[in-house]
Amino acid sequence: MEEPRPLRLTDLDPDQRRRAIGGSGAIIVVAVALILGAFYALPFDHFSSERSVLRLSAVVALIVAVFIWQIRRISLAELPELRAVEALGIVIGVFLVGFSIVYLSMSNANAHSFSGFNRPLDHTQALYFTISVFSTVGFGDITAKTDTARLVVSAQMLLDLAIIGVVVRMILTAARSRIAPEPNGGRDSRPAPAE
């Protein structure tokens, strides 16, 4: 089976472009809704803090796996620009929910891991804290209080930079390389053999 020829959004007529962008937006909304639905529905708050490093490693491995899968999807996409936007939305969604799971379980194992409340964080508070760290806003209403929590938050901050710098660049590069024209219009650049 032959791969579809990659197209730019500008190659589409206005109706096709609107449908493609709408479909891509729907994919992002559904993916993020599923990720958030799983986060709120599954009992992540019952995890113990004893395995925080393992859980953090599992989250990072999951993010890397989703990232690799998304790069593969971009490399085969008919509209790589839109697939890159979808990939970014999905990778960031997994990243944010992954760290929210870690913070939620840490807080439930030790209510003093984070300040701002006299009880463990709930799902929404853990997600809020993760997003405020990711966006570098850091309002200060929830802060890491234990060394373990500070180390995990520091790991998230460093990975935030990697997501913003490396992951975004790699996703955009994958999309650009998919739609880049072949040199010489796809013809072989070697000289013809002499007879």
pLDDT digits (tens, 9 = 90+) for 2-15: 666 888 888 899 99
pLDDT at 191 over 60: no
Dihedrals φ, ψ of 139, to 5°? Answer: -65, -25
* Residue 158 is assigned to a structural domain of this protein: yes
Say what angle helices 80-109 and 52-76 make with each other, to 10 degrees.
170
- Better-predicted residue by pLDDT, 46 or 132: 132
* Residue 37 is assigned to a structural domain of this protein: yes
* Residue 71 is assigned to a structural domain of this protein: yes
Residue 1: predicted pLDDT: 56
pLDDT at 53 over 80: no
Report d(CA 118, CA 111) in Å as an integer: 7
Report d(CA 74, CA 124) in Å as an integer: 32
pLDDT digits (tens, 9 = 90+) for 155-170: 999 999 988 888 888 9
Residue 5: predicted pLDDT: 82
pLDDT digits (tens, 9 = 90+) for 112-158: 889 877 788 999 999 999 999 999 887 888 999 999 899 999 999 99
* Residue 94 is assigned to a structural domain of this protein: yes
Report d(CA 66, CA 183) in Å as an integer: 31
Number of domains comprising the chain: 1
* Residue 192 is assigned to a structural domain of this protein: no
Three-state secondary-structure class, residue 71: helix
Torsion of CA 140, 136, 87, 128, to 10 degrees: 10
pLDDT confidence band for 189 (50 / 70 / 90)? very low
pLDDT digits (tens, 9 = 90+) for 23-42: 999 999 999 999 999 999 98
* Residue 152 is assigned to a structural domain of this protein: yes
What is the domain range of residue 164? 11-179
pLDDT at 183 over 80: no
Q: What's the rounded mean pLDDT across residues 87-104?
A: 92
* Residue 6 is assigned to a structural domain of this protein: no
Report d(CA 130, CA 158) in Å as an integer: 13
Continuous H helices in the chain: 14-41, 52-76, 80-109, 123-134, 147-162, 168-179
* Residue 89 is assigned to a structural domain of this protein: yes
Mean pLDDT of the chain: 85
DSSP 135: T
